[in-house]
Amino acid sequence: MTDSKDTRRLEPENLIETLALERIEVNLFRGVSKDQHGRIFGGLVIGQALMAAYKTVEKVRCHSLHCYFLRPGDPRVPILYDVDRARDGRSFTTRRVTAIQHGEQIFNLAASFQIPEDGVEHQDPMPAVKTPDQLAPERDLRKTMLEKMPAAMREAAMRPRPIDMRPVDPEGFMGNAAPDPEISGSSTQDVWMRAVAPLGDDEILNQCVIAYASDMSFLSTSMRPHGMGWQTPGLQSASLDHAVWFHRPSQFNAWHLYHQTSPSASGSRGFNLGQIYTADGKLVASTAQEGLMRYRPPAEA
């Protein structure tokens, strides 16, 4: 049970503040991480880098971004974002963003922006799954794992998160058991998501928050066929690259379904694909990621 002192410490993160950047020079920005535990969350750097790119464009919207994670981020110091104005065209604009800490690149991103245009449309249908009100919040699921975590990790595990998540397959999501094929299939997982802090109708802010959230739960999809999870002894994991394609605008305070699949794992890498839908079935974004999934079984006693 958490006492009143602990409750005061565990304040939720506000993504509007987290994604806000300080402009240092025309193309140079500074951001900070609110999470002081371990490495910087990859989605934070994606969201801040996209926000930095947006501060150098006008009248266009990002339709795709591609990025690489180069080094672990240090949450104790600010992150510098250096924006390269690669191209300004009549319809399409390109930006490259480099994230720097301690004089070294930790991350880079290339983003393409387009003047809004009308055209033909089609999309894949949203999978039929349980609704969010039928599912337990991810924070409640984390409580069941506290006894298995080292003491140093428990506070971080119970810190209120800026994204409300509700997995369709709770056991597989938490790595407690191999996923139930009747629910989602051995290499598939579905998670409902929404931002906790009010975002309003700002299309750019909502898009940056979707980019932030797109890194949540993604890599674990490739662990599911092997009955693994974040707490599996001997498993080393980290995001290597990440891509997002934005199809339609949406308001991320409403529930969105993140449908994720893992077509392949090999060479100590797991490959994942994702689709993000509004609750009424509109496909707003697609994602792809490859991550390190190096497994070295602990030596038997």
Last residue of a domain, one of 50, 85, 114: 114
Tell me: do 110 and 226 sit in the same domain.
no
Which tokens hold the place of 200? 């309003």
CB 108 within 8 A of CB 50: no
Range of the domain at 155: 132-295
Residue 267 lies in a domain: yes
Q: What was the pLDDT predicted at 301?
A: 36
Whether residue 35 lies in the annotated active site: no
User: Is pLDDT of 37 > 70?
Assistant: no
Q: What was the pLDDT predicted at 146?
A: 62
State the catalytic residue, choosing from 48, 215, 262, 286.
215
Q: Can you state the angle between helices 42-54 and 203-213, rounded to 10 degrees?
A: 160
Residue 300 lies in a domain: no
Residue 94 lies in a domain: yes
- Split into its structural domains, the chain has a count of 2
Tell me: do 33 and 150 sit in the same domain.
no
Q: What was the pLDDT predicted at 227?
A: 81
**In CATH, what number is assigned to the domain containing residue 49?**
3.10.129.10
Last residue of a domain, one of 114, 149, 167: 114
Whether residue 239 lies in the annotated active site: yes
Report how far apart, in Å, the C-alpha atoms of 216 and of each of 61, 161, 163, 194, 285 are.
Answer: 23, 11, 9, 12, 14
Tell me: do 158 and 275 sit in the same domain.
yes
Whether the model clears a pTM of 0.75, i.e. scores above it, the answer is yes
Tell me: do 108 and 154 sit in the same domain.
no
Q: Give the tens place of pLDDT for each residue, 74-126.
A: 999 999 999 999 999 999 999 999 999 999 999 999 999 999 999 999 999 99
Residue 241 lies in a domain: yes
Whether residue 222 lies in the annotated active site: no
Tell me: do 109 and 151 sit in the same domain.
no
Tell me: do 226 and 255 sit in the same domain.
yes
Question: What is d(CA 264, CA 271) in angstroms, rounded to the nearest whole number?
Answer: 6
State the catalytic residue, choosing from 33, 189, 222, 289.
289
Tell me: do 287 and 196 sit in the same domain.
yes
Tell me: do 46 and 155 sit in the same domain.
no
State the catalytic residue, choosing from 33, 112, 222, 239.
239
> Beta strands of 70-119 (E only): which ranges?
79-88, 92-101, 104-114
